Structure 1
Amino acid sequence: MPAIPDVFAPAKLGPVILRNRIIKAATFEARTPDALVTEDLITYHRLPAAGGVGMTTVAYCAVSPGGRTAGNQIWMRPEAVPGLRRLTEAVHAEGAAVSAQIGHAGPVADARSNKAAALAPVRFFNPIAMRFARKATRDDIDEVIAAHANAARLAIDAGFDAVEIHLGHNYLASSFLSPLINRRDDEFGGSLENRAKVARALVLAVRGAVEKDGAGRIAVTAKLNMADGVRGGITVEEALTTAKWLQDDGGLDALELTAGSSLVNPMYLFRGDAPVREFAAAFTPPVRWGLRLTGRRFLRHYPYRDTYLLREARLFRSELSMPLILLGGITNRESMELAMAEGFEFVAMARALLAEPDLVNRIKAEAGGSAVRSACIHCNRCMPTIYTRTRCVVTGAPDTC
């Protein structure tokens, strides 16, 4: 039997060496009011870098203006590169690597806020934006594929160590994968092979751009839904088939396994308390009234437990040879070491680091034991803060210089 790796030892991710196997997962920061990097955003990523993570992930670097979930998110363009370079340099100065999550929000995009048309496999109504996403044409799909390649090139220019392609949460690629959303009858609809064409093309386009402009300098990962948690949506069986195709295509250095739908069941990813009242308060009428009345159907309650995505992820680990990143309920040394023992190469953390940016250093400093516990209580009241400025409302963790 191979030795179980030390989660705190250096590890290879594609061409990049991370100082440990712990990644800060992408969580929208809400610190870019002009869709450009701010000192506030730099601090948001510098703190967990100083706190010990191997790599931090800059969330939702959209590949186009219409690919954002809201108009204040970064979209990858030359004007964004100088600020992104300041961010990568700040993270590198703390000894960590940094990844850019690139993607297109598809039906999750807020066309009203973006002042740009949203795209979906079919015409789709977004109740948050109170707008319809239009059915993507073949030209639209080709443009999105090209935009992903361009975003990867800009990430290389900005000094990123990796890019993470967003194939989850019913964003554009994931919505094409979903049999519930994708009701097309052309070459991109019907069979799973057709529905997976967009996701596979995005990965290969990014890989092509990286091999041409950043060979040997930047890793390529993707975030893929194992399941939507919705009847008629992406199932574990179909997701595993898609993951095998992605592995065979050879475009990825690692795959991060996720779950849930930003459109219809976000709590399937987050688990813990469902903050309906706080979410409703973040919106104006009529969305606020709708959330108060029907929020429990949208924000369903799933009890929290450590490593809560491990059961499904084991199926992927047993069938795939490529490196995998375990997400969901990684909060302490036990959960990290369990992931290593189960054969996962990396772990990803989000809310625990929002509550305590220095949690990784605290865990590492504890000699051989497991007494360190995360301050995160899984109340999920951090989630509605994405509409103002993402933060932990419980610990009041330091988040400014």
Structure 2
Amino acid sequence: MHTWVAMPQSTEPDNLPPPPFTRDNLVFADTTLRQTVHLSVGARQLRLRFSNAFGGVALPITAVAVALPVGGQAGVSGIRAGTSRTVTFSGRRSVLVPVGAQAVSDSLDVEVAPRSNLTVSVYLAEGQASDRVTSHPGSRTTSYLLAGNHVAATDLPAATPTDHWYLLSGVEAWSGGGTAAAVMLGDSLTDGRGSTTNLNDRWPDRLLDRLQADPATSEVAILNQAAGGNRVLDDGLGPNALARLDRDVLAHSGVEWLVVFEGVNDIGTAEPTGAAQKRVTDDLIVAYEQIVTRSHAHGIRVYGATLPPFGGHPGYDDPAGCRQAARRRVNDWIRTGGRFDAVLDFDRATHDPRNPRRLLPAFDTGDHLHLNPAGYRALADAVPARLFRRKPLPPGFGFD
């Protein structure tokens, strides 16, 4: 079962590694990439997943190692001496990942605690001979690039920092029968735009903190499958939610819950006319129903989150209020439609009571759309922990 994931995306030109790590359609040539990830549940055995979902050519990984970061911190280049472990793939130290495929490592004996950070170092001798590479740009975590093979080095003092994840899409943990996973399907509000780099204070991180504090939910893994700009109906930054549901949710083992917190970008990018907004509202409702139906067939409970306001945002707020009206209609359906197994009222948790069209100023980053760390804490606090206590599915679940 996964203890950490990042939604694979096609890397935009501005998010490619800086020179000299990108040059003449060659990326990561003779380069060590060191990145840290924040695990949810603990384990004594791990394995890694590397994705070439959007690569232009095969991905030739030369060497990989995992270690514990200095001070247990995220976004640092140093590792604790004596903790580095070599990663293999079917007994080999290198692996070639075909275009569109992924590679899963052999299991590795590494003991990690819940909510701890793990360092993954990757070396590519030849590099990937294409500027089409797979990444997760919104890492909110600092990674490091350095020429040469330094996967086992205790520090990379001259490395180039970059706030993106590349190639790595998941960390799996061997776990007992008491563990289960909850997947968060979302956009930048779940990916954490406005959160603090290297502090892991997105709302799913804060929810993990709460669940870990309760023995009844301490074995729940939180898997953040969100990306900034993502939409439910149409491709944006990454495939649309309907298209990626199988890859990012249903294909993962141990998933018992899905939180759907997405749709604001569909409303915000549709034309601000009554007809266009009615169409996107109707289509979103059908899409949510499809997500519920497909997830229920896999025995997964689905929780729907209402959409927070965006009043004052220069791109999404329109003078006639057509988009705000669409958001209210979508939220009314989420609350009363009866299709979701539970409702997380993120609109109520974040709007300004004196002006419900806007975010509470204390939660607003200033763009009137994205939340700051206090706002993300408010989202996490609005989620009832009891929803993630394991219980049998009702008779007939999945055919309702």
TM-score by length of 2: 0.35
More strand by share: 2
Structure in which a larger fraction of residues adopt helix: 1
**Max Rg structure:** 2
